[in-house]
Chain A
Amino acid sequence: MPDPLLQVIHSPVTAIALTLAAFLCAIWLYRRSGWLVLQPVLVTMLIIIAGIRLLGLEYQAYREAVLPISWLLGPATVALAVPLYRNLRRIRQTLWPVILTLLVGGVAIVALTLLFAYWLGADLPVLMTLATKSVTMPIAMPLAEQLGGIAALAAVLVMLTGVAGTAMLPPLLNLCGVQHPAARGMAYGMNAHAVGTARALEEGDECGAFAALAMGALGAMTAVLLPLAVLLLKATLGW
């Protein structure tokens, strides 16, 4: 007969309790310290990983156990239509700035990332994966695969970008004097996708709306344009 204690540790209840406890710790730490680098997403993730390791849980079993929590991410994404709708008039007024920022910023994000990675010696599959790093995860994973990258790595890079970006965004924007909520929201959504949007919603409704818009539009744009750009690039470079 298996050890009763072990049986409880490996039951879904422990996994869910671990996740909720990690979130509460992270929120407490975030509010107490007021330190933006301690992103709730980052800290929650680290505590959960530490918990999984300490308790000796199987990762796949953990993910199945916390399905009651993680399925809510779908409806939460759909609900981003609410701040978008509420700020639709503001968005319509700034339609051209939004489109221009998306195009220029989107190209710069992909080009600069690839340039630095190539220069630092990344190989082709990693480059193709890195090209998708600023796009929300459900778009990035199939896209990376389509480009000849690695889907599992894409998921990791997307999360790293989101977490690192959200930690870097507020100080960098303050440093550059970017105060307008629409401009801050665009920067949040384009550079740190969903994690940045969660942070932008903390700053306010308008900021959150522009972040959701930037995240969705950049994702759709990248999904359509990046494969074309890669095809052209491969043809011209003769890979």
Chain B
Amino acid sequence: MIKGLLLLLVMQAAGALLQLLYLPMLPGPVIGLLLLLVFLLLLGRIPACLEQVSVVLFQYLPLLLAVPATGILLGGDVLLTQLPAISGALLFSLLLCIPLCGWLMQRLIGDKRGCLIRCCRSYTRRSPRSR
């Protein structure tokens, strides 16, 4: 577990270094993610220590995200003065883009599962008649 955490931290530190040197537009942890992916590809398997620590970290991801989310306390002034425009734009665009992204991806990959369900349904619909 500690070994896994150390591996994550080493990757994050390397990512931070790369960010400072070459990639100012990408955050260090995201570069670290790519580095770890390359490392796993080279290794060809997921070490048990890494598996353990990632399970624990993902379990508490909402807790880790809630702390920066409280930053909402700071940017409140501009938000309040233009609240209708901002909240309206956020909600409307989510309302349209969520179905768009999901539907588009599902259409593009051919929705094998959906086809399967449809096939099963038509089969069960047909079977009583054929009996």
Contacts and interface: CB of A to CB of B under 8 A. Distances in A.
Nearest to A114: B89
B63 to A, nearest CB: 4
A82 B51 contact: yes
Given A156-B72, A220-B30, A69 B78 contact: no
A113 B54 contact: no
Given A19-B63, A122-B82, A198-B65, A165 B33 contact: no
Identify whether the interface residues of B are mostly helix, strand, loop, or mixed.
helix
A184 B102 contact: yes
A164 B94 CA distance: 8
A220 B8 CA distance: 21
A153 B97 contact: no
Interface residues of A, number: 108
A101 B15 contact: no
B92 interface: yes
Contacts of A11: none
B75 interface: yes
In which size bucket is the chain B interface?
Answer: 35 or more
Contacts of A126: 78, 82, 85-86
Contacts of B112: 180
Interface centre among A72, A108, A114, A133 (most CB of B within 10 A): A72
B91 interface: yes
Given A77-B33, A98-B105, A130-B86, A49 B73 contact: yes
Given A137-B68, A142-B25, A77 B93 contact: no
B32 A77 contact: yes
A39 B92 CA distance: 20
A201 interface: yes
